[in-house]
Every structure is written in C-alpha cells, then in structure tokens.
Amino acid sequence: MTISLQFKDALSRAIHRIKIRENNKQIEIIHDEIGYALGRKSGGSIIAYWRKGNIPNLTELEALAQILLERGGFNTRKELEQFLAYGEHPAPQRFCEKWWGGDPVTFATPKCHNLPPRYGDFLGRDEDIARVFEGLASRWPLLSIEGLSGVGKSTLAIEIGYRCLLETNTMLTPPFTAVIWISAQHRPEQSLWLQETLDTVARVLEQPLLTQLPPEQKWLEVEKLLRAHRPLIIVDNFETMNDQDLERWIESIPEPGKVILTSRQGKERRAWDVHLRGLPEPDALRFIEKQLRRIGLPHNIEDAGWRSLAHVTDGNPKAIEMALGYLKHGVLSLDALVNALHTASQSVGRIFDELFQRAWETLTDDARAVLWAMSFFADTVCQEALGSTAGLGAYHLHTALRQLTELALLEGAANLRYSMHPLTRAFVTLQLQAEPVWESAARERWIGWYTDFLLRYIPRTGEYWSMLQSLDIEITNLENLINWTFEKEHALVPLLAQRVWYFLYIRGEWAACERYVRRAIQQAVHQQQTALRLWLEVHLARLLVQQRNFAEAEERLLRAEAEINALNQVEYLVQTNIFNRLAQLYLLQGDLDKAEHYGEQALALSEQFNDTYHRLRSHYRLGQVQLHRGLWAEAEHKYRELLAEAQRGHWERQEGYCKLHLAIALIGLARLDEAATLLTEAVDLAGKWKEPLLEGKAQLEQAILESQRGNLEAAGELARNALTLFQRFGDRYDEIKTADLLAHLETACAPDHSSGNS
C-alpha cells in the first residue's frame, strides 16, 4: 500500500460529513459500522488506518466508496471521483457511471430528534401503525392518536417516530428530516406550553438562539425554520395542555411538516384520527406472558384466568401490568382480582382507581417515600439520587424498589435508572399533598444531592471532558431542579448556577447558561455572596466576549477587577481566573498589548500559587497573542510544549485546543500537511467529547487550509459546517469571521465576466 495525504483528507471529510448527517454520532462508532460493513472483524481499526493516508486495495476502495456514498459522505459526483482518484483507482469516472447509470444522485438526509428511548418489545398494533402512516402520507397536516389512559398512546407515538427515522420500509417520500418530541407526561400541572414548544423546535433543529427572541418574533422565526425542514412534531399528553395559543400554532404548522397529538379525548376535530383501543386478545396474552416472565411469576398462559384478565382490563397494557404486579404479592388470587376489577370495570378510570388504591395499601413506608421522591424528577433517575431524596440507605432503597417495580408503579430503564408512568405520577402527586412536612425535608435532600453531584464536574485540573458524560443524561432533571429553585428563590440558586456552568458552556448551551447566570447574579447580590457573585460575573463576561458583546463584558470584568483589588482578596483573582478573561477580551478586540499584559499577569499569578493548570492556560493565551501578531515560529514552539504537557497530564480538552492552535501556526508557516493532520485530530477529539466550539473552530481552520490548497468547494463546505455550529450556540465572534471567509470563497468561485463578449 502507498500513502496519500490527499486520500487521508478526503476520507476524513467524508467521515465527518456522515457524523453531521447522523446526529453527531461518535466517530469511533462510524468507524466500526463501516469496518463491519466491509467484513472486517476488527471493526473500525481499518478505517482509522486508512485515515492516516494508507490506501486500500481496489476491491476495498470501491466498497468503501459505495458505503460512504450511501451514507451521505459525498455531496457531488466530482467529490467521489476525486476520492477514488486519490485512492489510485484506475478509472474513477467509469466506476461512477457504472454505479449511478448516469442518473442524478439522491443523498441521505440529516436526521435530528429528541425522542425518548424505546424500552422492551413493541407488540402488535400493525393496523394502528398502518393507519398512522396512511395519515402521514396524506394531505392531512394533523394526526391525533386518541385512547384511554394506559392504552399505549405514547408508546405508539415513540415507535412511529423511530420508524420514521430508522426504517426504510416505512420511510415516507420525501422522508422527515427531524422528529421533535414535546411531552407533558411529567408535568401534567403545567397548562401553557407554546413557548416551550417553540424553544424545543429551535433546539432540535439546531437554532437555540431563537429561544432568546421575544414571543411574537420567536413564532415567526420558528415558522421560517419549519418551512426549511420537513419535521414530524409529536405532542404527547395534549389533553393536559390548556393553551389556546399552542392550539392555534399547531393548526398553522406550514407544509411539509406534520403534527401527531396523543390525547385521552378528541380535543382536535380537524385531524386524521387514530382511535387506540386495548390490545386484542392474542396480543394481550403475549403481553401478559412477557410480563409474567419479567416478574418471575409461575404461570400457564393457557389457563382461562389470563383470558379473563385480558377481557376485564380490555387489553389495556398499563392496567394489565399493574394487575400482575399486585398478583405478585399474593394478597388476592387471580380469580378474586378479576372479580374485583370486574366490579370496577364500568370505566377504565375506575379500574385504575381500584388498582392504585389496592397497591398503595400494600406499600411499605419506604416504598411510598420512593414514589413521592420520584415525583420531583423530570425524567429517569438513578438509584443514588432517588435514595438520597427519599432519605433511604442502600438496603431499604433496594427493598422498596423491588416492591415498586413488581407492582409496576416504577419502571426500570437503562443503566439502573427508573421512570414513572404519568398515571402513577398523578396519583402520587395527589398523595404527596397530604405530606407537606415530608416534602419540605425531601426537597432539601433533593437539592443537596444535585449540589454535591455537580461539584464533581467543576474542573480542578485540565481534564474534565469525560466526566461531563455523566451529566448528559441528567440535563432534564437539572433543568427541573434549577427552574424549581428559581421559582422558590432558594438560597442555593447561585451555587447551582456556578456548578452547572461548565457543562452548559462546553455543550454549547449558551442561551440557557446566560439565562441561569444572570438570574443567579441577582440573587447573589441580595444574599451578599461576594465571592460567588464575582465568579458568576466573570464567567458571564466569558460568554459575552464570544457573543461580541464586548462593551458589557469589559464593564463587568473591569468592575470585578477593581472590586477584588479594593477587597485585597488575591484568592478571588485565582478563583475567578479574571486576568485570563481580560486577556481573552482584549485579544478578540485586537488590543494585543493589553491582551499580553493580562496574560502575563495571569501567568505570574499561576506561578505564585503553583497552579499547573492555570499556568498552562496562561501560556496558551500568550500563544494566541503570538498567533495574532504573525509570530508563527514562536507560536509553534510554545504550542508544541503545551501540547506535550497536556498529553502528559491526560488533559484531552487542552490537547484538542493546543492541536488547533499549533495547526494555525503551521498554516502560517505554509506546512499545510502537518496542519491538516492536527486539525483532523482536533475535530475527532471535539466529536468524541461533544464540544461544538472546538469542532467549529477546527473546521473553520480546515476551511482556511483547503482554500490555500485551492480546494474551494471543500473549503466552502467546511466553512458552512462551522458557521452552522457557531450560529447554533451563539458564538458571534467566530460566526462573523466564518461569514467573511464564505463571502471571500463565493467571490473566488464566481465566474469571471470581466472580459465580456466583444
């Protein structure tokens, strides 16, 4: 095999395009999928080998090209031909003609979604699924899945969403480009939902800055966004949303989008109706058998009693599940329970009243405490958080969870997490109203657990990327907690905002981060928490600098510096890292002398306190000053030293940013091949740990590099990808820089008409 740097770059671009198209899937997973598709038992190791520039043999090159094309790795036929040519294919044009047959190519469409996970097997419902897809294929913009409580409306809607995303045999033509899930399942008491719905649409379609607009403007901008996509919007538990503005918005969803509502009653008349009933007897018996196996109850599914249970519950999955959980405890026989449910079976609501009341009476005090605690959480919850909030140790928690899952009052999810059905939540919330003393103490335990939990993710060294993965699954619970504490003006609001700051910043959730911090600063002022307020002020300024709000950022930073000096509290300078933030401000404003001055002050402070991490960060900032001055060789030397130190300390985030800036220095020195390798590695690291800021910055530099190589089409695509990222989280500084590059590229690519026709 030979080595080709052009092949390496072309393959890396194709891989990263697939990553973007497939909802920012991890690079390692894409490598493995392609490797296994090629029949390689080692999975993605072969792709990583080829991405170093090693060229595959002809058979594997053609198979690789076909897989990349099918998954959207190439936007044009020219790109595919270039890829094959770089891979030393003897006849790239002939291969393309043979594969395409001269017809235009249709490419994969990016899929964005926020669907909850699917748990367990999906049984039956073939006719209902067919009815939904018939509606989606029709001219009806609105579909309504209606049915009684517990019948499986949400489960069906989630299944439909995933089938629209993943299964080609049910894919509509053209397919949906996004599936957006809005649910009142965990907040039945909330009535107004329009603004949250608009915000969710904006976030899923990767335009979170729209969430900051005034309500009327937000409506208009989200409508424009919907017209540019083909989204499927699913609104779950719609009957609890008493919001006329939301109903008006739903009725005005522009084509080609569609809306699915799930509701206990037909609240919407102008809709394609799907009336969901209980499972037919064969499916109900299959469901009963699966549940009996799950809870370990001996059974013979041929016994007539199980048919009676399916009949008396009308095949309602939730009612069946709760009835079987009750049987597990042996208080009543199957026949006695069927008779009791028959007495209450005048309505499904009466059946659930009967089941909940019977179950509640059998619960231990610990089990009741776990249910009450569960109602605080917006989403799935881990055992540790649940036990701490309920005030239970490991043994008592384990015993309570076993009883609750057997009774189907809690549902097990992935990774030892638990969730609660809306019917259970409504019943438990009602019971909790009679326990204000218990609730008050439990709320404090709930807040205390998350306060301590977040402390683990404040960086004390340079490495904290991998730690943040544990926060991803908690984001809805954290939002629920922060909103509750803001509403109650709880004393820990400023501390919570400080401790969640790094997660929101690194994940690109800058709008939420700014909103939380501004409110927390106000409360810190009232509570006279000087040190915490100054930290929040400086870190708010860090956001404002990237948003090009230089005036407010400078005012806050200089005011904070003056206050710290007046207080003579040197440790506040260290805690806030204010000199580094001032250096960043003046660097981006172009005042390199002031940037260098504050960078040197930050360095002196880090050395005074023997702070290795902040010493590295100070050198990093001073290296940026060298880059802005065009001192390429000096910057290269500095960033090579910093990169080595970051690698010794296993600080992958710092490693990624050092590779980025070392590449910038190498571009300045016209050593483009070395720079290209470093930028690819930086993009890989950003994708691995989900930091869009680093990914965008690295792609911007890749665009600059490709433009210097004369690859203007590739440069334009990389710049557009970077621009999308910057716009998504509100990085105005890099957005403007990227837009300027795109304008230059478009001018360079435009046809030259200066000569005219004489």
Q: Tell me the CATH number for domain 112-275.
A: 3.40.50.300
Provide the pLDDT confidence category of residue 690 given band limits of 50, 70 and 90: confident
Provide the pLDDT confidence category of residue 751 given band limits of 50, 70 and 90: low
User: What is 365-454's CATH topology?
Assistant: Arc Repressor Mutant, subunit A (1.10.10)
pLDDT of residue 724: 84
- For 265, 317, 342, 346, the CA distances from 148, given in Å and listed in that order, are 8, 11, 17, 13
Give me the mean pLDDT over the 632-643 stretch: 96
| Res 668 pLDDT > 90 | yes
pLDDT of residue 104: 42
Report the chain's mean pLDDT, rounded to a whole number. 85
Identify the weakest region by mean pLDDT among 511-520, 694-703, 716-725: 716-725
Tens of pLDDT, residue by residue over 348-374, are: 557 677 777 878 888 999 999 999 999
How many C-beta neighbours within 10 Å does residue 346 have?
A: 9
Which residues make Cβ contacts (< 8 Å) with residue 713, sequence separation at least 6?
A: 76, 78, 79, 749
DSSP 99-136: HHTTPPP------EE-PPPP-S-----HHHHHHHHHHH
pLDDT of residue 106: 42
- For 394, 412, 429, 703, the CA distances from 438, given in Å and listed in that order, are 20, 25, 13, 59
Provide the pLDDT confidence category of residue 584 given band limits of 50, 70 and 90: very high
pLDDT of residue 508: 87
Q: Which of 576, 582, 475, 555 is nearest to 200 (CA)?
A: 475
**Distance of alpha carbon 478 from alpha carbon 460, whole angstroms:** 22
Domain ranges of the chain: 5-100, 112-275, 281-362, 365-454
Q: In terms of pLDDT, which residue wins out, 701 or 314? A: 701
| Res 725 pLDDT > 50 | yes
Q: Which of 329, 318, 294 is nearest to 421 (CA)?
A: 318
Identify the weakest region by mean pLDDT among 120-134, 291-305, 333-347: 333-347
Which residues make Cβ contacts (< 8 Å) with residue 71, sequence separation at least 6?
A: 18, 21, 22, 108
Tens of pLDDT, residue by residue over 191-209, are: 788 988 998 898 888 777 7
Instruction: Describe the strand order of the beta sheet including 142-146 as a list of residue ranges.
Output: 112-113, 178-183, 231-236, 258-263, 142-146, 272-275
pLDDT of residue 107: 40
pLDDT of residue 3: 72
pLDDT of residue 476: 84
| Res 422 pLDDT > 80 | no
Q: Which of 106, 171, 200, 285 is nearest to 479 (CA)?
A: 200
| Res 753 pLDDT > 60 | no
Provide the pLDDT confidence category of residue 105 given band limits of 50, 70 and 90: very low
Give me the mean pLDDT over the 305-320 stretch: 82
How many C-beta neighbours within 10 Å does residue 372 have?
A: 19
| Res 688 pLDDT > 90 | no
Q: Count Cβ neighbours within 10 Å for each residue of 333-342 and write b for 16 or more, e otherwise.
A: ebeebbebbe
Residue tagged 């409360």 (tokens): 523
Which residues make Cβ contacts (< 8 Å) with residue 240, sequence separation at least 6?
A: 184, 188, 190, 191
Do 84 and 77 contact (CB within 8 A), yes or no? no
| Res 758 pLDDT > 70 | no
Q: In terms of pLDDT, which residue wins out, 546 or 304? A: 546
Which residues make Cβ contacts (< 8 Å) with residue 308, sequence separation at least 6?
A: 334, 335, 338
- For 283, 294, 325, 386, 611, the CA distances from 123, given in Å and listed in that order, are 7, 15, 20, 31, 59
Do 139 and 167 contact (CB within 8 A), yes or no? no
Provide the pLDDT confidence category of residue 565 given band limits of 50, 70 and 90: very high
Tell whether omega for the bond before 208 is within 30 degrees of 0, i.e. cis.
Answer: no
| Res 305 pLDDT > 60 | yes
Give me the mean pLDDT over the 568-594 stretch: 95
Angle, helices 383-390/436-455, rounded to nearest 10 degrees: 140
Q: Which of 326, 333, 335, 329 is nearest to 357 (CA)?
A: 326
Do 163 and 136 contact (CB within 8 A), yes or no? no
Provide the pLDDT confidence category of residue 287 given band limits of 50, 70 and 90: confident
- For 14, 27, 56, 63, the CA distances from 5, given in Å and listed in that order, are 14, 20, 13, 20
* Helices within 394-435 (DSSP H only): 394-406, 422-432
| Res 184 pLDDT > 70 | yes
**Distance of alpha carbon 239 from alpha carbon 235, whole angstroms:** 10
How many C-beta neighbours within 10 Å does residue 351 have?
A: 27
Same fold, 112-275 and 365-454: no
Q: Count Cβ neighbours within 10 Å for each residue of 23-49 and write b for 16 or more, e otherwise.
A: eeeebeebbbbbbeebeeeebbebbbe
Identify the weakest region by mean pLDDT among 5-14, 453-462, 511-520, 691-700: 453-462
Give me the mean pLDDT over the 506-524 stretch: 92
* Helices within 568-611 (DSSP H only): 570-576, 578-589, 592-608
pLDDT of residue 755: 42
Do 237 and 422 contact (CB within 8 A), yes or no? yes
How much is the pTM?
0.73
| Res 651 pLDDT > 80 | yes
Give me the mean pLDDT over the 22-46 stretch: 78
| Res 186 pLDDT > 90 | no
Do 375 and 424 contact (CB within 8 A), yes or no? no
Phi, psi of 182 (to 5 degrees): -125, 125
pLDDT of residue 466: 65
Provide the pLDDT confidence category of residue 544 given band limits of 50, 70 and 90: very high
| Residue 704 token pair | 């600059």
Tens of pLDDT, residue by residue over 55-98, are: 988 888 888 988 888 777 886 777 888 889 998 898 888 877 76
**Distance of alpha carbon 343 from alpha carbon 312, whole angstroms:** 9
Tens of pLDDT, residue by residue over 695-704, are: 999 999 999 9
pLDDT of residue 687: 81
Do 211 and 202 contact (CB within 8 A), yes or no? yes
How many C-beta neighbours within 10 Å does residue 145 have?
A: 28
Q: Count Cβ neighbours within 10 Å for each residue of 723-732 and write b for 16 or more, e otherwise.
A: bbbbbbbbbb
Give me the mean pLDDT over the 581-597 stretch: 96
Return the CA Rg of the chain: 29
- On the 0-12 / 13-18 / 19+ scale of CB atoms within 10 A, 752 is exposed
Q: Which of 179, 208, 182 is nearest to 197 (CA)?
A: 182
| Residue 251 token pair | 């009725």
**Distance of alpha carbon 707 from alpha carbon 712, whole angstroms:** 5
Q: Which of 647, 593, 575, 587 is nearest to 616 (CA)?
A: 647
| Residue 250 token pair | 């739903």
pLDDT of residue 745: 87
Provide the pLDDT confidence category of residue 323 given band limits of 50, 70 and 90: confident
| Res 541 pLDDT > 60 | yes
pLDDT of residue 109: 45
| Residue 589 token pair | 């404003």
| Res 607 pLDDT > 80 | yes
Provide the pLDDT confidence category of residue 24 given band limits of 50, 70 and 90: low
| Res 641 pLDDT > 90 | yes
What is the CA 114 to chain-centroid distance, rounded? Answer: 7
Provide the pLDDT confidence category of residue 331 given band limits of 50, 70 and 90: low
Give me the mean pLDDT over the 136-159 stretch: 86
pLDDT of residue 174: 64
Farthest CA pair distance, the chain:
100
pLDDT of residue 569: 92
Tens of pLDDT, residue by residue over 591-601, are: 999 999 999 99
Do 146 and 263 contact (CB within 8 A), yes or no? yes
Question: Residue 75 carries which side chain, given as an amino acid letter?
Answer: N
**Distance of alpha carbon 645 from alpha carbon 639, whole angstroms:** 10
DSSP 150-217: TSSHHHHHHHHHHHHHH-GGG--SSPPSEEEEEE-TT-TT----HHHHHHHHHHHTT-GGGGGS-HHH
Q: Which of 259, 287, 240, 4 is nearest to 122 (CA)?
A: 287
Do 593 and 612 contact (CB within 8 A), yes or no? no
